[in-house]
Structure 1
Amino acid sequence: MAIDAALSPDEIRQHIADNPKKRARDLADQLGVGEAALVAAQGATRIHASPDAIMPGLKPVGEVMALTRNISAVHEKTGIYDNYHSGDHASMILTEEIDLRIFSRHWVHGFAVTTETERGPRHSLQVFDAAGDAIHKIYAREGTDMDAWRHLVSELTTGEVADHVALEPRVPAETPKADPEKADVLRKEWAAMTDTHQFMRLTSKLRMNRLGAYRIAGAPFATALAPCALNDALEALAAQDTQVMLFVGNKGCIQIHSGPVNTLRPMGPWQNIMDPGFNLHLRNDHVAEVWAIEKPTKRGPAISIEAFDKDGALILQMFGRRKESDKIDYTGAYKAIIDGLPTLETEEA
């Protein structure tokens, strides 16, 4: 049964009217529907959701804001969509500001949305998966060419008119999966890696997943940190000039920030990075496990902090930034930050 079948579009619209300041994802979760059901109920224009349809047409619109989120983190970058590379399994946008990895089979429902705000209409393109969870959103900005934006929307419009959308049940996060009897094989092949992308093939071959492998690998490959270590790392980064690559994603899109972290503004359970061109909104209270990870590569070790929620879903990853073209390598400084973070053993003691 579709997950939004219990509520009619009229009922959804009434809930939206009754909760005008509630975040769309929070209201959708409260109602037990996919967020796409809220968008459809408000009469948004249906568009083709394929990245191959959307991405090539974005460059002419100029500066926009790209948003990719999961349940615990929202990643926002301002820039121009360019340098699109289409692929059967994964596609990419590769610019200094907008850096995306796109998995098109999860791009199912698309909408062009206009929302009335106190500052005037806010225009966006929004894509959702089969369950109605947000995959990627693109927001017009002050510098956006709105004539080009309207032309793009007209090119993408499907002509379908409906205030409801049929959604599938949400697939829960995969629980940690490991085989302790294969721990020695995991460590041996981990040590032999020459590229970080080999890791997922390794875990798949051993019938494990990311978090399951971390739990049995042990040092020097994986070190369990205290849950507070993620916020401690952000505070350390804000206090010094160490640049990172910060990844936030879902099953259909991963969005990457490459650069510094300067301005932190905590608010309730949220830790917020509020830098020019880059914002991150992180639910600190969702962070259940944090791991310091080291993977060998041809260019030297890739050092990361990776955070997971209570269900084992990946919240974000942060790597020390390395850019060979500019002879920039922050991995050593980033490792020094990690070495100063509290471990899980320290916290428990």
Structure 2
Amino acid sequence: MTQRAAATPDQIRAFQAENPKLRARDAADALGIAEAQLVAASVGAGATRIAAHPDDIVPAAEALGEVMALTRVEACVHEKVGAYGNYHPGEHAAMTLTEDIDLRIFPSHWVHAFAIDEAGRRSLQVFDAAGDAVHKIHLREASNHGVWSRIVADLALDDQSSGQQVEPRKPVEAAKIREDKADVLREEWARLTDTHQFLRLCSKLKMNRLGAYRAAGAPFVRQLAPQAADTMLNAVRDAGIEVMIFVGNRGCIQIHTGPIHTLKPMGPWQNVMDPGFNLHLRLDMVAEVWAVQKPTQRGPAVSVEAFDAEGGMIFQVFGVGKEGRDSRKAWGRIVQALPCSAPVPA
């Protein structure tokens, strides 16, 4: 996106009136502004500034009953229908854990938020300091609309201005590789007992996730062809197995646990269109795909992970290992059959 332009709220509203079918994110890109600036232009005319901290937003969402939770990155949109609950607050990381709404939340990136009511289409929307969407909660017909007015009143801020200052967007961190530490990486990788230890190992060795994958090699990782992302989704659907699909940005990671039933490709997009779960993936933005294996106390954790051309993660997919719902063996066979790609130069 181009440098943030100084479009006035009046200009933003006029553009939206002239382009009513344009999605908010696309309208913001067309104007060269952040999405939060686009939304802020409607404060007092359908939008209300509200407290952005998850300790405020999530309890409000719980009162709404059935809603649709949306978390996205540039190349992938993850949508789940369900009710918020079982919220675990935390200064640096929080989570919501229900069968349908499963989130990992990073409060420092929940900076701006709005309650939006456009002709009865209601949502709570959260943005980071750069004005990029972190998480959205869309009400549905079955939602508890009776508490909407109270929630907006309780969360409303004193500041109801229609201008929005944003910080420059932080660039995606490219792959960080330490070839001189590759042997140490492989030695310590083999001793992992939990997947959460992996990022601590990367940090200790001054690498990041993608850099470690490029450095490690077999048997820890196998680089797949970019089209393996689509092949994998089709194979999961055909096998009828349950998987965990993670999509996340700096402020929120959203997880689907379950099967995939319906795939509907449209242009560059591959779309999962299931009751309660939609995924929209831009296949043309998938630059690297990796099959990854990490040892754990419960056996190897095998994942397929996709990255964009800048090195940003698009998604992670794991087999489900829950008792009575263990798909890991079938998932392992799917991953093993995915096509390889030539390695990316360090």
TM-score range, shorter chain: over 0.9
3-state secondary structure, aligned to 2:239: coil
**Consecutive unaligned residues in structure 1, runs of 5 or more:** none
2:128 paired with 1:144: no
Cα distance in 1, alignment partners of residues 75 and 342 from structure 2: 25
Cα distance in 2, alignment partners of residues 226 and 124 from structure 1: 38
Deviations along 1:242-267, whole A, 9 cap, x unmatched? 11000000000000000001100111
Report the CA distance between 1:91 and its aligned residue: 0.1
3-state secondary structure, aligned to 1:216: helix
Deviations along 1:135-181, whole A, 9 cap, x unmatched? 00001111111112222221111132211111011111001001011
2:72 paired with 1:73: no
Match of 1:340 among 330, 334, 337: 337
Match of 1:50 among 50, 53, 60: 53
The amino acid that maps onto 2:289 is V
TM-score for both structures, normalised by structure 1: 0.95
The amino acid that maps onto 1:237 is V
Cα distance in 1, alignment partners of residues 224 and 14 from structure 2: 45
2:26 paired with 1:26: yes
Q: Which moved more, 1:145-154 or 1:128-137?
A: 145-154
User: Contact conserved, 1:124 with 1:138, CA < 8 A, in 2?
Assistant: yes
User: Contact conserved, 2:65 with 2:143, CA < 8 A, in 1?
Assistant: yes
Cα distance in 2, alignment partners of residues 220 and 15 from structure 1: 53
Q: How does 1:156-167 map onto structure 2 within 5 Å?
A: 156-167=155-166
The alignment covers a number of residue pairs equal to 339
Partner of 2:38: 38
Deviations along 1:290-311, whole A, 9 cap, x unmatched? 0000011111111100000000
The amino acid that maps onto 1:162 is S
Cα distance in 2, alignment partners of residues 296 and 149 from structure 1: 46
Partner of 1:239: 238
**Consecutive unaligned residues in structure 2, runs of 5 or more:** none
Match of 1:100 among 100, 103, 110: 103
Q: How does 1:150-229 map onto structure 2 within 5 Å?
A: 150-229=149-228
User: Contact conserved, 2:66 with 2:81, CA < 8 A, in 1?
Assistant: yes
3-state secondary structure, aligned to 1:6: coil
Match of 2:325 among 313, 325, 328: 328
2:5 paired with 1:8: no
3-state secondary structure, aligned to 2:329: helix
3-state secondary structure, aligned to 1:58: helix
Report the CA distance between 1:113 and its aligned residue: 0.6
Cα distance in 1, alignment partners of residues 305 and 26 from structure 2: 24
Cα distance in 2, alignment partners of residues 26 and 176 from structure 1: 28
3-state secondary structure, aligned to 1:82: coil
Deviations along 1:41-93, whole A, 9 cap, x unmatched? 12210000000111123222210110001111110001110000001110000
Report the CA distance between 1:3 and its aligned residue: 5.6
User: Contact conserved, 2:5 with 2:31, CA < 8 A, in 1?
Assistant: no
Q: How does 1:293-332 map onto structure 2 within 5 Å?
A: 293-324=292-323, 327-332=324-329
Partner of 1:109: 112
Report the CA distance between 1:5 and its aligned residue: 4.7
RMSD: 1.4
3-state secondary structure, aligned to 1:239: helix
Cα distance in 1, alignment partners of residues 117 and 4 from structure 2: 22
Runs of 4+ in 1 over 6 A off after TM superposition: none
